Chains A and B, each alone.
Chain A
Amino acid sequence: MKLKQLALAACTALVAAGAQAEGLKVGMITTLSGGGAGLGIDVRDGFMLAIAQSGRTDIEVVIEDDQQKPDIAVQLADRMIQSEKVDVLTGIIWSNLAMAVVPSAVAQGKFYLSPNAGPSALAGERCHPLYFNVAWQNDTLHEAAGAYAASAGYKNAFILAPNYPAGTDALTGFKRLFTGNLAGEIYTKLGQTDYAGEIAQIRASGADSVYFFLPGGMGISFLKQYADSGVNLPVVGPAFSFDQGILQAVGDAALGVRNTAQWSKDLDNPVNAAFVESFQAQYGRLPSLYASQGFDTALLLISALESADVGDQDAFRKALEAADFASTRGDFAFGANHHPIQDIYVREVIKEGDIYTNKIVSLGLEDHGDVYAQNCKM
């Protein structure tokens, strides 16, 4: 558990003696083992790449593995705050771990920058001045999918997600902006791997499209089985089932699927182009959206450091809120509840040579905030 990696090691050994302003200590708690490790590894790699590229020598990053277990995440957070005395926490991938860690971390006066999990509670009633979400609020990608499905002319959608809070939130988000009927709404078992039953129901329902949220291995199984079933309805989903790390395992079954995300590797701006190229050069693989989120989180942090000192919480918070940096998504801005207001794109899964990846086909939602901002009394 004590995997202490100094960011300095990524830079050269030529360190300018004597840092001018005080630096920053970051505690990164993310999933580095088990089935969900791919996401944590991507976030970590994106984050550390930005730190290395900044050339700054005054940012120290402590990285620990939460093993996707909430109680371990809570203890790691306690240790980072009490023992390591970090200034900023980041890294958590899963909403349930975030809900366990974030409220008490910000209550203890530490900044938290989320590079992934965006539970609705933390965007609404439980928002906090020290909590920032650099990725998205969970619902927004699903809302974009719903809006896209409506605009694509689908009138009778069949939707499914696992029976747990992120799953119910996903379908709620989809239904918010989808204007058609629902041919069916199913909550599957968390961790379920066999979807023959659900696919049979889709076939019998008379639907004209399918929307699903099944992160990780669940999505891989569903897509493979769906592609083989003879049910040829168009499929829409959020990017979580179609990110770079998963696509290679799904293969042809995912081709042509439209998915929504705030980032794609072909987003046309200089920061993103440089990011994709340097990520591939450094790590030998294409970045996923998780990697871009990690990268942007580090960029945000660095930009705040340029103008304020973390010791002055008010000033640092304002610097974070200003978000004065060029992100891989282009311009970046926070809403009042510290969640991004951003464009969400519709991407399509394509094959480039031997690699499966995504390409943007249209703009889904422009300058979209989240609906929970109105509940945030910050």
Chain B
Amino acid sequence: MSLILLAEQTLNGLQFGVMLFLMAAGLTLIFGVMGLINLAHGSLYMVGAFAAAGMAAATGSFMLALIASLVAAAIAGVLIEMTVIRRLYDRDHLDQVLATFALILIFSEGTRWVFGSFPLFLDKPSFLSGTVTLPFNVEYSVYRLSLIVVGILVAIGLFWMIAKTRIGIRIRAGENDREMIGALGVDISRLYTMVFALGAALAGLAGALIGAIQSVQVGMGEPVLILAFVVIVIGGIGSIKGALIGAILVGLTDTLGRFLLPQAFALILEPSQATSVGSSLASMSIYILMAGILLFRPKGLLGGA
């Protein structure tokens, strides 16, 4: 096993993690500020991907497609916030789970009704295709590198927004004590709608960016949703920094696990068994990681006051 391969896998894990962060950041904000479990986040991811595919098919421009994904997801977010989510803030988590689960059904079959049952085509732009040779002779895909860059930029942007802007202050205050900021004159419902739209836009962007190298089909958001929940739980709910750390941890564990575990088992078992056992353990690895972290830090790494 060469160091180059290890380096490439690490980069892959990083890229996977950074993309998860886009999903998780929105989710943790929504949960942290509004106390809302949003299962429909995966559907917003799907809406972004489909909007991007549609726009790309119509205009051929990837940039326009990305903008379309942001806008479509944000609009979808605002729509469901104003009609459904708004009524759920005071309800307990169970009701939120059921309501957002119902939204998943509506979005999934609705998308299938509009776009048909076959997967859609979305491709990365030609100026981001191909590979580039990084230091130490590692050949890496340009697009994936740009994903890492985008993710880090979004992270920086979010940190700056939370720490330095007025909105950020309100968000932090809202996480702390909702009633108080209402009493102090902040328009809570506008704040909530904005936070929800922001989270939705991030999810939609993730959908478009990742849809370009994966498949754009109905239900594509669900596996990512579960992973995003794992990430925010590991990182601690409400913490963007936690979401970033959690996302990178999950990305690295999953990628390196899939790569290293079968090889580790090959040392003691015969090859086909080793692959079998190693692969199964690899698929369970992030859940084992999450359970492990929760046992020592019951509120996640950076969660809880």
Contacts and interface: CB of A to CB of B under 8 A. Distances in A.
Complex A–B touching at CB under 8 A: yes
B215 A249 contact: yes
B132 to A, nearest CB: 9
Interface in B3-55: 4-5, 8-9, 12-13, 15-16
B214 A217 contact: yes
A318 interface: no
B217 A217 contact: yes
A229 B131 contact: yes
Given A35-B217, A163-B276, A189-B279, A229 B255 contact: no
B272 to A, nearest CB: 7
B217 A189 contact: no
B282 A230 contact: no
Interface of A: 32-35, 37-38, 41, 163, 185-191, 193-194, 196-198, 200-201, 203-204, 216-218, 220-221, 224-225, 228-230, 245-246, 248-253
Nearest to B255: A197
Classify chain B's interface size.
35 or more
A194 B271 CA distance: 24
B214 A193 contact: yes
Contact of A191 (B119, B223, B271): B223
Contacts of B275: 185-187
B117 interface: yes
Given A37-B117, A220-B119, A193 B215 contact: yes
Nearest to B272: A185
B178 interface: no
A245 B129 CA distance: 25
5 contacts: A185-B272, A196-B141, A197-B13, A201-B5, A204-B5
What is the predominant secondary structure among interface residues of chain A facing chain B?
A: helix
B214 A200 contact: no
Contacts of A186: 262, 275, 279
Contacts of B210: 193
A367 to B, nearest CB: 31
B118 A228 contact: no
A33 B16 contact: no
A249 B115 CA distance: 13
B190 to A, nearest CB: 36
A196 B140 CA distance: 10
Given A197-B258, A203-B5, 10 more contacts: A33-B109, A185-B272, A187-B279, A193-B214, A194-B255, A221-B214, A225-B141, A230-B139, A249-B216, A252-B123
Given A37-B112, A217-B220, A229-B131, A200 B5 contact: yes
A121 B117 CA distance: 30
B258 A188 contact: yes
A201 B259 contact: yes
B170 interface: no
